[in-house]
Homo-oligomer: A and B are copies of this chain.
Amino acid sequence: GFPGNPGLKGERGESPLAVRSAFSMGLTSRLAVTNVPIRFNKLFHNEQRHYDDTSGKFRCVTPGVYFFTYHLTVYYRDARVSLYRNNKPVMFTHDQFQENNLDQASGSIILQLQAGDEVWLQVYGEEEHGGIYADNTNDSTFSGFLLYPDPPAASRRR
């Protein structure tokens, strides 16, 4: 007999287009409470709602490699924050304030996250380090995005 027809064409390769995670939020006013995650309520971008502005935490849905960055207006007093991952402070930013010399402090980090991991910013230390300021024309921001989703299990096996 004759050979059969060729098989079906393979599936289209995976695309990173499908998996997205990005948020960009700002403070609406001067930081008042320092012993909890900083709640950024001003919305620049949060399409997937992976940043929860009631808890102040980003929660990882898609496992992979993420980039986070923040920019803080330092005013009235010193500022000292830590970027937390699941209750553990992993990076620290400190800036001292002097009268009439409002400053800017910023940080960036790349982290491999698992689904469910939480990342947030919080003042590190006492209230005296809570000099993080914002108003209608002064921003303090926190942004992050998925850089590389983890390859699916099938890809890993190859």
For residue A114, CB closer than 8 A to chain B, the reply is no
Report yes or no: A137 in contact with B92, Cβ–Cβ below 8 A. Answer: yes
* Chain A 94-113: CB-based contact to B (< 8 A → 1; otherwise 0): 11111011111111111110
Q: How many residues of A contact B (CB 8 A)?
A: 69
Residue numbers in B under 8 Å from A63 (CB-CB): none
Report yes or no: B93 in contact with A71, Cβ–Cβ below 8 A. Answer: yes
- For the complex formed by this chain, how many copies does it contain in all? 3
* Chain A 3-43: CB-based contact to B (< 8 A → 1; otherwise 0): 11111111111111110101110100000000000000000
For residue A84, CB closer than 8 A to chain B, the reply is no
For residue A54, CB closer than 8 A to chain B, the reply is no
Report yes or no: B111 in contact with A45, Cβ–Cβ below 8 A. Answer: yes
Report yes or no: A103 in contact with B103, Cβ–Cβ below 8 A. Answer: yes
Residue numbers in B under 8 Å from A143 (CB-CB): 67, 108-110
For residue A52, CB closer than 8 A to chain B, the reply is no
17 A–B contacts, CB within 8 A, in A order: A1-B2, A3-B4, A5-B7, A7-B8, A8-B9, A9-B12, A10-B11, A15-B15, A22-B147, A22-B148, A24-B108, A45-B112, A47-B112, A82-B137, A94-B138, A96-B101, A103-B104
